[in-house]
Amino acid sequence: MKTKIIRSIAILAIAALAAGVIAFLLPRKLAKGMFQTTGIIEGTEVNLSPKITERIKEIRFREGDYVKDGETAILLDPEKKTAEYEQAQANLDVAKASLLNAAADIEKAKVRIVDTKRDLERNARLLEKKLVAQNDVDKAQTAYDTAVADLNKAEAQKSYAEAGVKQSEAALRVAKVNLDDTVIKSTISGAVTLRAYEPGEFVPAGSTVLTIVDLEYIWLRVDMEETAVSHVKLGDIVKIRADSLAEKVFTGRVTEINSEGEFATQRDVKRGRQDIKTFRVKVRIDEPKGLLKQGMTATATFGDVSLGDTR
């Protein structure tokens, strides 16, 4: 007997939950040409997170504070990245000095080639006149060959030094980026809705430190059944009333209607019955004045709102 009672209570609870979901999605009938449905307030949201793992030095805003676009919001400890940048700059200076030395060695080798070639040609002429020995010509040839080898070596060293400069320049750019990443700026204007860390804590790369929501660009997202969405078109004026701000009525316009159906509110369980799909509709809210917050539940009145009661 007790088992049957528990089973009955469970069935009633599931039925009540299903009825609630359907009631949430189904438009509520009002005056002719009007209907209401419920949705969720959403806004443009940005999560500020570091690109590097480092200790937080300063967080300039708390939850509820307003942040301007481009304003510095978070500072990471720059000591390590500053040292890495300075080391990279020093390595580049050394690489550039090596390149200058290699260029100077090339010029010296070129001068030696000219001199040793002149000596070789003179000794060759003197040998024809038997004024010098073959040994003198051989020595001149060796000096010339050495000068040519030195030039080839200097040119190879220059190529190596040029590669070293490019590598050092790339390392310096990386170090500069890492140093710049210790300063995190907001990419939108909005209110801080989440502060997940505090100064002094180590924050892993990619972890959200602050969440900022643009409260000036707020919209209502509703999932409407296909039987209702056919009566909605882009540009339609919508009256919106948030459950937590019952005395306030906001105006919005339909800016987006999903072209493809999403989840079904009714499945095909009998032959000949089709699934009833939902379509996502986005309503841009005019002048939210910061009163509407992301995640709020709101009721939207569609249709000729000028002719009916929006209560």
Contacts of 227 by beta carbon, 8 Å cutoff, 6+ apart: 276
The pLDDT tens digits for 127-144 are 888 888 899 889 999 999
For 145, half-sphere exposure in the C-beta direction (CA atoms, 13 angstrom radius) is 6
Q: Residue 127 and residue 89: Cα distance in Å, rounded?
A: 57
Q: What's the pLDDT score for residue 185?
A: 97
Closest by CA position to 76, among listed 60, 61, 62, 57: 57
Q: Exposed, middle or buried by CB within 10 Å (0-12, 13-18, 19+), for 192?
A: buried
Q: What is the dihedral of CA 58, 60, 63, 64, to 10 degrees?
A: 180
**Residue 259 φ then ψ, to 5°:** -80, -10
The stretches in the chain having pLDDT less than 50 are 1-2, 18-19, 21-29, 265-273, 307-311
Question: What is the reported pTM?
Answer: 0.64
Amino acid at 26: L
Q: Exposed, middle or buried by CB within 10 Å (0-12, 13-18, 19+), for 157?
A: middle
Residue 185 · residue 71 · CB < 8 Å: yes
**Residue 71 φ then ψ, to 5°:** -80, 140
Q: What's the pLDDT score for residue 9?
A: 55
Domain boundaries, the chain: 28-75+192-303, 79-180
Q: What's the pLDDT score for residue 156?
A: 94
Q: What angle do CA 173, 177, 178 make, to 5 degrees?
A: 115
Reply yes or no on domain 28-75+192-303 having CATH 2.40.30.170: yes
Q: What's the pLDDT score for residue 77?
A: 97
DSSP 290: T
Q: What's the pLDDT score for residue 274?
A: 56
Residue 252 · residue 285 · CB < 8 Å: yes
Q: Residue 4 and residue 307: Cα distance in Å, rounded?
A: 52
